[in-house]
């Protein structure tokens, strides 16, 4: 009887130990899985924040270019040409994607320069950012609209329609009108806030 009881105790002990081992392994597995999930969540949050930072840096660059365009243009055509002219187009694209002054690493930005177009009073294009953390990546795309603040093309400083037969008084009057136009343009520029001319929208993950 004693040997039989000892056998039952031994079997019970083995079963209990086996259950304890199984529960322990399950707990360890759950802890590892949760840690891995939390690690991925951290990477997702981190890379998303970096990608959004890339969009904000490009927005800052675009604002600077808009300010420069306002300072160097006086009408609708000149304003659009500043961004889309043959000599300025690539320069504009390269400037707005320049993030070399930032110390953020593992971030790439891109301007979809093959799809820059004018629609009504807006210049439109898309930008992309991609942040990396090891093998984990977060890629965002945003649409950009730059508004043209000029309602129309304003006459140039020289009055090309003045004929040689017009007298000095007419020419002087025309010059006065041009000076008034230039003063009006300068005054109008002072009231334009470049921040109101840009809109970034439709931000989505790729």
Burial label, 50 (beta-carbon count in 10 A; 0-12, 13-18, 19+): buried
Q: What is the pLDDT of residue 193?
A: 87
Is the pLDDT higher at 68 or at 88? Answer: 68
Question: For the chain, what is the mean pLDDT?
Answer: 77
Q: DSSP letter at 156? A: P
DSSP character string of 124-191: EEEEEEEEEETTEEEEEEEEEEEE---SSPPPPSS-TT--TTS-HHHHHHHHHHHHHHHHHHHHHHHT
Say yes or no to pLDDT of 148 above 90: yes
pLDDT class of 59 with cuts at 50, 70, 90 = very high
Structure confidence at residue 89 (pLDDT): 83
pLDDT tens column, 166-179: 444 444 444 444 44
152 pLDDT band (50/70/90 cuts)?
low
Q: Is 40's pLDDT higher than 80?
A: no
Question: With bands split at pLDDT 50, 70 and 90, how would you rate the model's confidence at 157?
Answer: very low
- The rounded percent of the chain whose pLDDT value lies above 70 is 64
């Amino acid at each position: 009887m004693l040997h039989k009881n000892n056998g039952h105790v031994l079997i019970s002990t083995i079963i209990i130990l086996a259950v304890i081992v199984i529960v322990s392994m399950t707990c360890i597995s759950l802890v590892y899985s949760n840690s891995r999930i939390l690690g991925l969540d951290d990477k997702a949050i981190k890379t998303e924040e970096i990608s959004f930072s890339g969009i904000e840096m490009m927005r800052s660059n675009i604002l600077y270019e808009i300010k420069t365009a306002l300072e160097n243009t006086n009408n609708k055509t000149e304003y659009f040409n500043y961004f889309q002219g043959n000599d300025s187009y690539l320069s504009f694209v390269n400037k707005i994607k320049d993030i070399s002054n930032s110390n953020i690493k593992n971030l790439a930005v891109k301007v979809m320069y093959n799809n820059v177009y004018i629609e009504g009073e807006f210049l439109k294009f898309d930008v992309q950012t991609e942040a990396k953390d090891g093998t984990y990546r977060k890629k965002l795309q945003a649409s950009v609209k730059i508004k043209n603040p000029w309602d129309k093309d304003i006459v140039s400083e020289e009055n090309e329609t003045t004929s040689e037969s017009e007298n000095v008084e007419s020419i002087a009057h025309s010059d006065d009108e041009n000076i008034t136009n230039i003063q009006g343009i300068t005054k109008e520029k002072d009231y334009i806030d470049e921040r109101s001319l840009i809109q970034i929208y439709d931000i989505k993950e790729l």
